[in-house]
Chain A
Amino acid sequence: MSETVTLEPGGRRGRRATREPVDRHQALLEVKNLNVTFQRRGGRATRAVDGVSFSVKPGEVVGIVGESGSGKSVTSLAVMGLLPSRGVQVSGEALYRGRNLLTMGNQELSSLRGRDLAMVFQDPMSSLNPVIPVGLQVTEVLRRHEDLTRQQARDEAEDLLRRCGIPDPRRRLGEYPHQLSGGMRQRALIAIALACKPALLICDEPTTALDVTIQAQVLELLKELVSELGTAMVMITHDLGVVAGLCDFVNVMYAGRVVESADRRELFAHPRHRYTHGLLNSIPRLDSPRGEALRPIPGTPRDTIAWSKACAFAPRCQFADDDCVVDDLELAPLGAAGHRVRCVHPAPEEDK
């Protein structure tokens, strides 16, 4: 992250001095072998996240793509320490600048949350507190992490809302969430998340609950702001379109594991995992011949097998055979540098 990015004239000096210097090559966030298991009273344990590893370098935008239930949201909540404490077991490591977020004390973690690590949630309707004004919800994060007076925080909040594209920000500060439209609320949430200029922003399907036209605007805004601030971003989505427009690097998840990870260009040009391949094939394209049918992936995410026994995607895969019944399939390098695939019969490297 560059120190020279100053968004407002005469920015508050000195308040970033407490942060460690940034090394562009050291990973900002490194998730290693993350496991999350839900244990319900009387029910069997479900492994939602199964040995997930990925890393995010400063300023980088990393996508995590998958269907609902693939474990992508749980991954992000685990990293932020926002999973409920009861009935959930988390193991592995999530190193933020070398400090493990998963074993960190509550005090230490909450001093990082909101300041170094921030998050934008899926549903702007329910993610803002309905009974207190929007302004307070922005200023409270500023006043928690920065030494500001009430008035300074208010001015800062107004500025933030304006930069997030909310017209008439002064009036909006005094309004309540129900008086804002869905798109406005998501902008307000983005303003809250970026208020303290975090080093890492995690976005959990930030546009799913919005109208299509608003979706594009919000994504554009996010893209602009993170590049301005030099903030790294983890973009969690089920929408490959979002990934194509935004991410530098992509992890595809299926049934709790990363099945393919690659550079964005590489992934779209040479998808090797049969699941990724299927996802790309199921997107309607304007340049495809008229009348050509879409090719959806057959079955549902429920037709699955434990990874410990076989490839979890095999039940839905057209290329599955007896070889796919192999325990704990490896995520192995394949083709271009950095491209890794967890598949017995990867697709041939052809140009898409």
Chain B
Amino acid sequence: MTAEPLSARPQALTDLMGDVGLDERGTSLWQGAFQRLRRNPSAIIGALIVLAFVLVAVFAPLIAPYEPAKSQWIDQVTPSTVPGHSAEHLLGLDPLGSDLFTQLVYGARQSLIIGIVSTAFGLAGGVILGTLAGGLGGWVDTLVMRLVDILLSIPSLLLAVSIAAMLGQRPSAIMIAIGAAQVPIFARLLRGSMLAQRNQDYVLASFSLGLRRRTIVMSHVLPNSLGPVIVQATLTLATAIIEVAALSYLGLGAPDPAVAEWGRMLVKAQDRLQSDPHLTLLPGICIAVTALGFTLLGESLREALDPKSRR
């Protein structure tokens, strides 16, 4: 059955239709998400914070007035007092006798490295496990998901502590520990999202066309399941930055005490909290603002990718 062809549409009509403009033109998931992100103020704030953070981390040597972690002015620090603002030192000194501003700037670099490395590690592990479970199904799925369940029943901080203990005193230990503690979360997320995709009609259609399982998983299921994983990765960057502070508090921070790292700066200044609260507050604010940036960005991304918000 075919529609009767329209007799030539009057020109005046065609012109009018043109200027009505089909602004409902089809947009892809990511294009649409990007458009929604641009209109969302919290996404903009988050992106600006993240951008500023990355810039500071990358250009730390250009921004910081001094070399980091030199303890050059240790003689000016006494057990009860730390020099505050002066002409040479914008924010004064830290308890180890380094320039506080310099330490904060280099702390951004350390946080960025820890955040990226640990998230990449968690993501890689999670994607491998999740793809195996979600893509292969059967006993592989059962085995992997049991393992994931077990790991998820251990609070992630304790899991990170255990893994750090196992890895011993090496600089990468906390990054791997924090990342590894995220593996089960990513694995479960990816598997869930792949299973949801697998039952979609377009996947069934691909199977009925006789495509190979690997082709379908790699070219259809995986790309469409990645949205939630990317959101989680953004949020994990925030978690990692906060968790490093917690690990430092537990005495499991990076082994080199001189490396500028917000978590440890904060912990080391605890006993001066009453006399010099800024020593604790400033790194604390840096951690909170950076984590806030990644969280805002991640949350807005989740909202933008949510099919429910695409109406």
Do the two shown chains form a genuine complex with each other?
Answer: yes
Q: Which residues of A contact B (CB under 8 A)?
A: 41-42, 44, 293-299, 302-306, 309-310, 314-316, 318, 320-322, 324-325
The CA-CA distance from A87 to B276 in the complex, in Å, is: 51
Q: A295-B4, A298-B3 are in contact. Are A321 and B24 (CB under 8 A)?
A: no
Residues of B within 8 A of A322 (CB): 10-12
B39 touches A306 (CB 8 A): no
Interface string of B51-66 (1 = CB under 8 A from A): 0000000000000000
The CA-CA distance from A44 to B9 in the complex, in Å, is: 27
A296 touches B20 (CB 8 A): no
* Nearest CB in chain B: distance from A34 CB, A: 23
Nearest residue, chain B, Cβ from A293: B1
Contacts A302-B24, A315-B13, A320-B13 known; 6 new A-B pairs at CB < 8 A = A299-B3, A302-B22, A310-B13, A315-B17, A321-B10, A325-B13
Interface size, B (range)? 10 to 19
Residues of B within 8 A of A304 (CB): 20
B39 touches A42 (CB 8 A): yes
The CA-CA distance from A304 to B3 in the complex, in Å, is: 18
A318 touches B7 (CB 8 A): yes
Tell me the dominant secondary structure on chain B's binding face: loop
B17 in complex: contacting residue of A295, A298, A303, A318, CB < 8 Å: A303
B17 touches A305 (CB 8 A): yes
Please name the 6 residue pairs, one residue from A and one from B, whose CB atoms are nearest each other, closest first. A298-B3, A325-B12, A322-B10, A42-B39, A322-B12, A321-B10
Residues of A within 8 A of B209 (CB): none
Nearest residue, chain A, Cβ from B3: A298
B20 touches A306 (CB 8 A): yes
Residues of A within 8 A of B4 (CB): 295, 298, 318
The CA-CA distance from A309 to B2 in the complex, in Å, is: 30
B10 touches A298 (CB 8 A): no
B39 touches A296 (CB 8 A): no
Q: Could you list 25 examples of A-B contacts with CB < 8 Å?
A: A42-B39, A44-B23, A294-B1, A295-B3, A296-B1, A297-B3, A298-B5, A299-B3, A299-B6, A304-B20, A305-B16, A305-B20, A306-B20, A310-B13, A315-B17, A318-B6, A318-B7, A320-B9, A320-B10, A322-B10, A322-B12, A324-B13, A325-B10, A325-B13, A325-B16
Q: A44-B23, A294-B1, A296-B1 are in contact. Are A305 and B13 (CB under 8 A)?
A: yes
Q: A296-B1, A296-B3 are in contact. Are A309 and B39 (CB under 8 A)?
A: no
Q: Determine which residue in A41, A324, A325 has the highest number of CB atoms from chain B within 10 A of its CB, and name it.
A: A325
* Nearest CB in chain A: distance from B153 CB, A: 29
Residues of A within 8 A of B24 (CB): 302
B9 in complex: contacting residue of A294, A309, A315, CB < 8 Å: A315
The CA-CA distance from A302 to B24 in the complex, in Å, is: 10
Nearest residue, chain A, Cβ from B36: A42
The CA-CA distance from A293 to B7 in the complex, in Å, is: 19
Within 8 A of A (CB), among B24-63: 24, 39
A41 touches B10 (CB 8 A): no
Residues of A within 8 A of B7 (CB): 318
* Nearest CB in chain A: distance from B18 CB, A: 10
Q: A315-B9, A320-B13, A324-B10 are in contact. Are A293 and B2 (CB under 8 A)?
A: yes
The CA-CA distance from A15 to B303 in the complex, in Å, is: 50
The CA-CA distance from A293 to B22 in the complex, in Å, is: 32
Residues of A within 8 A of B6 (CB): 298-299, 316, 318
Residues of B within 8 A of A309 (CB): 16
A314 touches B1 (CB 8 A): no
Residues of B within 8 A of A296 (CB): 1, 3
Residues of B within 8 A of A306 (CB): 20
Residues of A within 8 A of B13 (CB): 305, 310, 314-315, 320, 324-325
* Nearest CB in chain B: distance from A236 CB, A: 21
* Nearest CB in chain B: distance from A351 CB, A: 23
Residues of A within 8 A of B10 (CB): 314, 320-322, 324-325
* Nearest CB in chain B: distance from A12 CB, A: 44
Nearest residue, chain B, Cβ from A319: B7
Nearest residue, chain A, Cβ from B2: A293
Residues of B within 8 A of A302 (CB): 22, 24
* Nearest CB in chain A: distance from B311 CB, A: 9
The CA-CA distance from A241 to B24 in the complex, in Å, is: 32
Residues of B within 8 A of A325 (CB): 10, 12-13, 16
